[in-house]
Amino acid sequence: MAFSADELTEQLIKLECRSNFKIKNIAEYMLANSKEAFYTHAETGKGKIVIRPAFEVFSDDFTDIDGVVRTQGYFHSSEMTRFPTRIYKSAQPIHYGVAFKISSEQAAKEFIAKLTMIIGG
């Protein structure tokens, strides 16, 4: 059975990630004991974690985790206000990040652990 967006949300709460808001299908979280924001995106019941584009250099580290797949290109959303902007399909800049599909509870745990380790240096 596929790992749903709701299951991803439950797992993030178990990992003590703080939820700041949810607008439509985008939710903002902060890592436990950190001010590092990331977002989740729910699409057709499946969940993605979106991180700042500065972490793109660590994409291979994240995709080495079983059950984590990077989506092609960047993910754009005006709700991701803590992320940088760029011009994309419009004259107005839009916020963007690097998205990863998460397909299991273990993948979510390992992804958050890896992101926490990267943030911690």
| pLDDT of 20 | 85
Q: Give me the residues paired with residue 93 across strands.
A: 87
Mean pLDDT along residues 53-79 = 93
Mean pLDDT along residues 6-11 = 88
User: Which pLDDT band holds residue 50 (cuts at 50, 70, 90)?
Assistant: very high
Q: Which of 107, 71, 77 is nearest to 93 (CA)?
A: 77
Q: State which amino acid sits at residue 89.
A: K
| pLDDT of 24 | 85
